[in-house]
Amino acid sequence: MNRLSTGIPRLDKKLQGGYPEGESILITGEPGTGKTILGIQFLHQACMEGKKCMMIATEETPEKILLHAKLLGFDLEPFFKENRLSIMRILEMRTSYTGISTDGSQYTGMHMDDLNNLTHLIADDAEAIVVDNIGTFSIGTDLRSFRDKLEELTYFLSTQKMTALLMMDKTAHELTYRISEYSTYGTIRLMVKENPYTGKMERFMYIPKMRGTRISLDPIIYDISDEGIKLSTTQGKKD
């Protein structure tokens, strides 16, 4: 199976090379756990490898995403300028249309119950996609309809051989009874928890599911620094 690098060397090793190509991976976690950063590192790496990339954001403007990426040492701006990377902002609207927000950035208005409408926004030649966050589309929608639309989206992405990270905030994930995990090829949960041995709060990720991949169910400790997300080794070394 072909894989796309996560942009985090040690995580690539844990996933036998990276995210399975042409599949959708669900990333869940509370605010501040690093979902957006994980997406940024994936897209930065894919852009560097010459892939056509796309970020669909419901929370942040393209300007903020570019700024946050730059602060962590992942300069996406050159890729954005040469159209290798497109960043689209989605706002909730009664009708679907494209407009300009007060900060001058372009956005697309969408019914938030229309998750499958995203397929119309995705460029035909996109190879690496991040949707941040699909939780927004579960609000005010019944469970059955949300699941059907998510299935349609992941089916579309898979037929187009597009590798996607679908971010979902933990609250929306819990409120939808974690059904998104059934519609996606793999799941990574980002968490913060107290280490019982040291009493310190630690970030760790848990990979309950990754089809076609040998995975360990042990928690993977990581850290977020000026250089983004890095995984700890058992010796506490980072890379």
Ligand X SMILES: Nc1ncnc2c1ncn2[C@@H]1O[C@H](COP(=O)(O)OP(=O)(O)O)[C@@H](O)[C@H]1O
Q: Which two tokens stand for residue 132?
A: 């941040």
- Residue 184 belongs to what H/E stretch? none
> Residue 163, by phi and psi: left (phi above 0), alpha (psi -120 to 50) or beta?
beta
Q: How far is the CB of 116 from ligand X (least distance, A)?
A: 23
Distances (CA, A) of 117 to 62, 111, 153, 168, 193: 20, 9, 8, 17, 36
DSSP label at 76? Answer: -
Q: Is 176 in the site for ligand X (CB under 6 A)?
A: no
Q: Which residues contact 86 (CB under 8 A, 6 or more apart)?
A: 53, 54, 55, 80, 123, 126
Considering CB distances under 5 to 8 angstroms, the limit depending on partner class, which of Mg ion, ligand X, none binds residue 208?
none
To the nearest whole angstrom, how small is the minimum distance from the Cβ of residue 23 to Mg ion?
A: 21
What end-to-end distance do the CA atoms of the chain give, in Å?
Answer: 25
Give the range of 36-44, 192-200, 201-209, 230-238 binding Mg ion by CB under 5 A: 36-44
| Tokens linked to 92 | 């909730």
CB 111 within 8 A of CB 93: yes
Q: Would you state the structure tokens that stand for residue 42, as one six-digit string?
A: 């994936």
33 binds ligand X (CB under 6 A): yes
From the list 5, 24, 36, 187, which residue makes contact with ligand X (rule: CB under 6 A)? 36
Identify what 33 binds: Mg ion, ligand X, none; CB under 5 to 8 Å per kind: ligand X
The item of Mg ion, ligand X, none sharing an interface with residue 226, based on CB under 5 to 8 Å by kind, is ligand X
Q: How far is the CB of 106 from ligand X (least distance, A)?
A: 22
Residue 224: contacted member of Mg ion, ligand X, none (CB under 5 to 8 Å, by partner type): ligand X
Least distance in angstroms from the C-beta of 159 to ligand X: 28
Under the binding rule (CB under 5 A), the answer on residue 36 touching Mg ion is yes
> Binding residues for Mg ion, per CB under 5 A?
35-36
